[in-house]
A and B are shown apart, each in its own frame.
Chain A
Amino acid sequence: MTRISIDPITRLEGHGKIEIFLDNSGNVENCYFQVPELRGFEVFCLGRPAEEMPRLTNRICGVCPEAHHMAAAKALDALYNVEVPPAGKKLRELLYMAFYVTDHTTHFYALGGPDFVVGPDAPKAERNILGVIAKVGLEIGGQVIATRKRNHQVIEMIGGRTIHPVSALPGGMSHPITEEQRQEIIEIARQNVEFAQFTIGIVNDIVLANQDYVDLIVSDGYTQQTYYMGLVDENNHVNFYDGKVRVVGPDGVEHCKYAPEEYTEYVAEHVEPWSYLKFPYLKKVGWKGFVDGKDSGVYCATPLSRLNAADGMATPLAQAEYERFYETLGGKPVHHTLATHWARCIELLYAAEHMLELAEDPEVADPTVRALPTEIPTEGVGIVEAPRGTLTHHYVTDENGILTNVNLIVGTTNNNAPIFMSIKDAATAVIKNGEVSDGALNMVEMAFRSYDPCLSCATHSLPGQMPLEMVVRNADGEVTHHLSQYVDECLLDQLD
Chain B
Amino acid sequence: MSKPKLALYWASSCGGCEIAVLGLHEKILDVAEAFDIVFWPCVMDFKYEDVEAMEDGEIDVCLFNGAIRNDENAHLAHLLRRKSKVMVAFGSCAFGGSMPGLANFNDREQMFNYIYHDSPSTDNPDGIVPQQRTDMPEGELVLPNFWNTVKTLAQVVPVDYYLPGCPPEASSIETAVTAIVSGELPPPGSVIGPDITVCDECPREKHEKKISRFYRPQEIIPDPDTCLLEQGLFCAGIATRSGCGARCPQVGVGCRGCYGPNEGVYDHGAKIMTGIASVLDADTPEEVEAILDTLPDPAGYFYRFHMPDSLLRRTARTNGKKLLASEQVAASEL
Contact = CB atoms under 8 A, between A and B. Distances in A.
Partners in one complex: yes
Interface in B84-142: 98-100, 102-103, 105-106, 110-111, 114-116, 119-124, 128-131, 134, 136-139, 141
A170 B216 CA distance: 11
Given A1-B138, A51-B216, A273-B128, A174 B166 contact: no
A271 B128 contact: yes
Interface in A29-57: 29-30, 32, 34, 36-49, 51-52, 55-56
Contact of B141 (A1, A19, A49): A19
Given A40-B103, A276-B146, A467-B44, A163 B19 contact: yes
Given A9-B47, A163-B167, A38 B105 contact: no
Given A43-B103, A372-B221, A461 B253 contact: no
Interface string A154-195: 001001111110110111001100000000000000000000
Contact of A401 (B110, B141, B216, B220): B216
B191 interface: no
Given A44-B106, A48-B300, A38 B45 contact: no
A273 B123 CA distance: 14
A59 B166 contact: yes
Contact of A465 (B19, B45, B116, B221): B45
B11 to A, nearest CB: 10
Interface stretch (B22-30, B264-272, B275-283, B318-326): B22-30
A62 B44 contact: no
Contacts of B46: 467
Interface string A128-166: 000000000000000001001100100010011111101
Given A62-B16, A272-B128, A485-B45, A21 B103 contact: no
B241 interface: no
B144 interface: yes
B42 A55 contact: no
B123 to A, nearest CB: 4
A72 to B, nearest CB: 13
A14 to B, nearest CB: 8
A360 interface: no
Interface string A396-430: 00001110010101000000000000000000000
B20 interface: yes
Contacts of A10: 41-42
A480 to B, nearest CB: 15
A161 B258 CA distance: 13
Nearest to A59: B99
B45 A467 contact: yes
B19 A38 contact: no
Contact of B250 (A29, A55, A160): A160
Interface in B202-256: 216-221, 224, 247-248, 250-253, 256
Contacts of A400: 296
A80 interface: yes
Contacts of B103: 39-40, 43-44
B17 A274 contact: no
Given A59-B166, A149-B25, A271-B122, A3 B128 contact: no
B130 A275 contact: yes
Contacts of A389: none
B121 A268 contact: yes
A439 interface: no
B317 to A, nearest CB: 13
A43 B216 contact: no
A259 interface: no
Contact of A167 (B123, B134, B167, B252): B252
A457 interface: yes
B224 A457 contact: no
A456 interface: yes
B19 A62 contact: yes
A48 B103 CA distance: 12
The listed residue with most B CB atoms (<10 A of its CB), out of A3, A29, A174, is A174
B149 interface: no
B42 A268 contact: no
A372 B100 CA distance: 30
B332 interface: no
Contacts of B44: 463, 467
Interface string A445-473: 00000000010111011110101010000
A287 interface: yes
A203 to B, nearest CB: 25
A160 B111 contact: no
B136 A270 contact: no
B21 to A, nearest CB: 9
A36 B72 contact: yes
A29 B41 contact: no
A160 B23 contact: no
A370 B221 contact: yes
A373 interface: yes
A461 B19 CA distance: 10
A51 B167 contact: no
B15 interface: yes
Contacts of B134: 273-274
B12 interface: yes
A163 B218 contact: no
B33 interface: no
Nearest to B131: A273
A484 interface: yes
Contact of A269 (B26, B105, B121): B121
B248 A175 contact: no
Contacts of B119: 42, 269, 407
B10 interface: yes
Interface string B56-83: 0000000000000110100000000000
Contact of A40 (B22, B48, B115, B251): B115
Given A162-B23, A460-B19, A467-B41, A39 B218 contact: no
Nearest to A396: B120
B123 A268 contact: yes
Which A-B residue pairs are the 4 nearest by beta carbons?
A62-B16, A457-B42, A456-B15, A160-B251
Interface of A: 1, 3, 9-11, 14-15, 19, 21, 29-30, 32, 34, 36-49, 51-52, 55-56, 59-63, 65, 76, 80, 145, 148-149, 152, 156, 159-164, 166-167, 169-171, 174-175, 263-264, 267-276, 278, 280, 283, 287, 370, 372-373, 394, 400-402, 405, 407, 409, 454, 456-458, 460-463, 465, 467, 469, 484-486
25 contacts: A1-B138, A30-B137, A36-B143, A39-B103, A43-B111, A44-B106, A51-B217, A61-B15, A62-B13, A62-B17, A145-B25, A161-B248, A264-B121, A269-B119, A270-B124, A271-B116, A274-B131, A274-B143, A276-B143, A401-B216, A457-B15, A457-B41, A457-B43, A460-B19, A461-B43
